Amino acid sequence: MNTNITAYKRTFGLILAFLSLLLIASSLAFYSFLQTARGPLHPVFGLVKLMTKEEDSKRIIQALDSADPEALKQYRDLVAQFYLLSGDIQFSGKVEQAIISGKTQPLHAKIYHPDNRQGSEQALAPVIIYYHGGGWSSSNIDVNAKMAKQIATTTGAVVVTPQYRLAPEHVYPAALDDAYTALNWVKDNAEHYAWDKNRIIVAGDSAGGNLAAAVALYSRDHQGPFIAAQLLVYPDLQPLVHDYDAELQALGLQPDAEFLSAVGKAYAGSADAQDIYLSPLAANNLQGLPPALVITAGFDLLTKQGEQYAKKLQEQGVIVKTINFPKVGHGFISVVGLLDESDAAIQAMKSFILSL
């Protein structure tokens, strides 16, 4: 009997030792997988990389080309899954629905009123208009709700998230028109909501960063409304021009040049690539634009565009602050409550706003 127990213990011990070695080997393999010539890649994006399927990217490109409603729905559902990576966000403020009269149809929006909002009856609250990312062709104000709540809670500003029309059903300048309409709506309703019309801030990530930069240009060239600052998170500032990066391509992270080209073409339609409201990076005159915070990621094809735009702004006398998060990839700010870099980026927004 004792002999059998001893044998079982020995066998169990060998199994545990084997599993431990397997775990160590797997950990070392994954650690090596995260080490790149560009530096270490954050484990979350290592997992995203492992989950990324080349056929998914091809299906998305085909959906954009065909504009088939069912294929587009599948594409948008797939993109929405990325936002499930976010952690739990505690938000004790009030969320309000709003309808904005658009050029061709009503625009839905959400307003996030944080309990710790800056301002009182004597000092009006600043407002951040946040345009969501998604290649101008996916995502929406619902899947971005956690990020909006985190921005409102961290900055103490009211956050307004307008839903703009998506490509390829609605090509340029539909999204820009909607983004500018939302800006005017915020200005026109500032007194009603006790908002400070002199502290209206435009912000966005990726395609939304493009819209924020474009709205800042458009507002400057069309007598307002006044914009106090622009917060541009890995913005796509030239939708029809993307440099190939062999190192990032080899890593297999999305979005790659082919994907960015597809969403850019779907949004641009027949527009001129040098149209500055489509491609803010093509603008020669950047004088008179609002102060800009430009946030980029280490593993992102759009980082170069963000850095180039920040440099051009600075050279023309615009106040600019740039921050790069080297270990993460495109989309990182959306993973709130899980990535420290996401929380740090939003904290940087607060610091930038308070510095103005």
Q: Which amino acid type is present at position 229?
A: A
- Is 30's pLDDT higher than 70? no
pTM (2 d.p.):
0.89
pLDDT band at 355 (very low <50, low <70, confident <90, very high): very high
Q: What is the pLDDT of residue 12?
A: 53
Residues 6+ apart with CB under 8 A from 282: 238, 273, 274, 275, 276
pLDDT band at 246 (very low <50, low <70, confident <90, very high): confident
Q: Average of pLDDT values for 309-333?
A: 97
Count H helices and E strands in the chain, helices first: 12, 10
pLDDT digit string, tens, across residues 270-295: 999 999 999 999 999 999 999 999 99
- The closest of 326, 213, 351 to 278, measured between CA atoms, is 213
- The closest of 191, 183, 189 to 164, measured between CA atoms, is 183
- Torsion angles phi and psi, residue 122, rounded to 5: -90, -35
Taking the C-alpha atoms of residue 77 and residue 84, their distance in angstroms, rounded to an integer, is 11
Q: What is the pLDDT of residue 17?
A: 45
- Residues with a catalytic annotation lie at 206, 300, 330
Q: Three-state SS for 15?
A: helix
**In a 10 Å sphere around its CB, with 0-12 CB exposed, 13-18 middle and 19+ buried, how is residue 200 labelled?**
buried
Of 38-42, 117-121, 145-149, 155-159, give the lowest mean pLDDT range: 117-121
DSSP state of 164: P
Q: What is the pLDDT of residue 33?
A: 43
Taking the C-alpha atoms of residue 294 and residue 323, their distance in angstroms, rounded to an integer, is 6
Taking the C-alpha atoms of residue 292 and residue 310, their distance in angstroms, rounded to an integer, is 8
pLDDT digit string, tens, across residues 67-105: 999 999 999 998 898 888 787 888 989 999 999 998 889
Q: Work out the angle between the directed axes of helices 207-221 and 174-188 (0-180°, nearest 10).
A: 60
Taking the C-alpha atoms of residue 240 and residue 344, their distance in angstroms, rounded to an integer, is 30
Q: What is the pLDDT of residue 25?
A: 36
- Is 188's pLDDT higher than 60? yes
Q: Which two tokens stand for residue 81?
A: 């899954």
